[in-house]
Structure formats: C-alpha cells, structure tokens
C-alpha cells in the first residue's frame, strides 16, 4: 500500500455506507470522516437560531464563522457545535430532513467541502457522504457507490432508530427517505451522484461483512 490512501464512499440514506466505512477505517487503521454529521450540525445550528433550513440568507450570515469541530475521542468521531458535543443530538430523526434541506444551500456546501478537504489533506482516510467521489475528492484512490433498495434502507433505518428507543412508522420513514433521496439527487450544486469511476455495490442482499470484504478485495 502506498503511503496515503483516500477512499470515497457515497450513496443514499440507509445504504449502510457509514457502518461499512467505520469498519473499513478500523481494518485499514485510517481516519473515518462521516460528512453527513457536519450537515446535520449545520441544520441543528439553524434550528437553534430559530431559522428555516432553506433560508439561504439566514444561514449565509453564520456559516463562514460556524464553530463546528470534528474531534476523535477513543477512535470515534465526535461533532462539536459551539463547544458542545452534539454527536447524539444530530442523530435525532427530526434532524435528518433538515440536514438534507440545509445541504442544498451552496454557501453550506462550499464551507463543508472546504473543511472536509482540509481534514482529508494530509492523512489516509475514508470519507462517507453524497458527493465525495464526484466533488470533494475527485482524485480519491478508490471510489465506491453503496446503494440498496428503498424498502431495505427504510427497514435498516427503522431498526437503528428503534434500538435507540424511537417509535417509528415504517411507511412514514420510507416516504421521508424517498423525499431525502429526491432532494439530495436534485439539488443544483454537487448533488448525490455516482462518480463515473466509482464501483457500484448494491447491498440489498449483503451483510456488512460481505460488503466490507467486497470493498477490501479492490484495495491493494
């Protein structure tokens, strides 16, 4: 393996990319950056200010000076907003759609992409998101597009939320995932897109270990 390796994992919500990315980073002993957490933190900040997550003017007033930090504690990523660890709060179901909304704003993407490129600049890493292979790291060494059918993704998300104690309605959750897919794929700037040179993996009928092994089989 060469000195520095950068891996992009993109795909829609619930495709299993973050679980796989975490495992992959452990296996290769490289940094893992969950970029979705950053958009979630921006959504939380917007809501804390009592603003609408589509309000570009309101968001543009704070985004360049946002106090958003990614720190690694005992090997896992923690997201700090205005000095507070918001890692749990940004996972609340109400934040998911708001993060998708705020991520459509160009001023937000430019700031987040700049932060992500700085984090990825001088170390081996795996980044998961929507536009990593197509926009953030177009020259990544390996690019994977992780996908799965919408029912499978909704079931996975439901299990994850139920394990955290949330009560969820399957049909409502599925509709929300479809809406997020639509938003993420159809925004004007750096939408969710499979990079031309990405390897596509449909995880609908695969276990995490199978996906991980498949990815590892490509990495030299």
Which residues form the interface with ligand DC (CB under 6 A)? 13, 35-36, 39-40, 96, 99-100, 103, 129-132, 180, 184
Nearest distance in Å: CB 5, ligand DC: 19
Q: What would the DSSP string read from start to end of 89-100?
A: GGGSHHHHHHHH
| CA atoms lying within 13 Å on the CB side of residue 50 | 0
Is the CB of 17 or the CB of 206 nearer to ligand DC?
17
Is the CB of 103 or the CB of 124 nearer to ligand DC?
103
Nearest distance in Å: CB 2, ligand DC: 25
Q: How many CB atoms lie within 10 A of CB 207?
A: 10
Nearest distance in Å: CB 183, ligand DC: 7
Nearest residue to 184 (alpha-carbon basis) of 3, 19, 1, 14: 14
Is the CB of 40 or the CB of 174 nearer to ligand DC?
40
Nearest distance in Å: CB 220, ligand DC: 26
Residue 128 forms beta bridges with which residues? 9, 34
Residue 77 forms beta bridges with which residues? 72
- Contact present, 11 and 24 (Cβ < 8 Å): no
Is the CB of 94 or the CB of 220 nearer to ligand DC?
94
Cα separation, 166 vs 28, in Å, equals: 33
Nearest distance in Å: CB 103, ligand DC: 3
Is the CB of 99 or the CB of 154 nearer to ligand DC?
99
């Amino acid at each position: 393996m060469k000195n520095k390796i950068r891996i992009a994992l993109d795909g829609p919500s619930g495709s299993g990319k973050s679980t796989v990315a975490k495992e992959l980073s452990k296996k290769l002993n490289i940094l893992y950056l969950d970029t979705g957490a950053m958009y979630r933190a921006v959504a939380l900040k917007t809501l804390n200010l009592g603003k609408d997550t589509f309000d570009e003017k309101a968001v543009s007033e704070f985004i360049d000076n946002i106090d958003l930090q990614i720190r690694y504690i005992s090997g896992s990523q923690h997201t700090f907003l205005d000095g507070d660890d918001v890692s749990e709060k940004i996972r609340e179901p109400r934040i998911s759609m708001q993060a998708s909304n705020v991520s459509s704003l160009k001023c937000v993407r430019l700031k987040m992409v700049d932060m992500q490129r700085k984090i990825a600049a001088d170390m081996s890493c795996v980044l998961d998101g929507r536009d990593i292979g197509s926009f953030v790291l177009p020259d990544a060494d390996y690019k994977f597009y992780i996908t799965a059918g919408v029912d499978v993704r909704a079931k996975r998300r439901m299990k994850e939320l139920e394990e955290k104690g949330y009560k969820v309605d399957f049909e409502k959750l599925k509709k929300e995932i479809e809406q997020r897919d639509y938003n993420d794929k159809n925004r004007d700037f750096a939408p969710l897109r499979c990079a031309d040179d990405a390897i596509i993996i449909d995880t609908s009928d695969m276990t995490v270990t199978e996906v991980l092994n498949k990815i590892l089989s490509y990495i030299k």
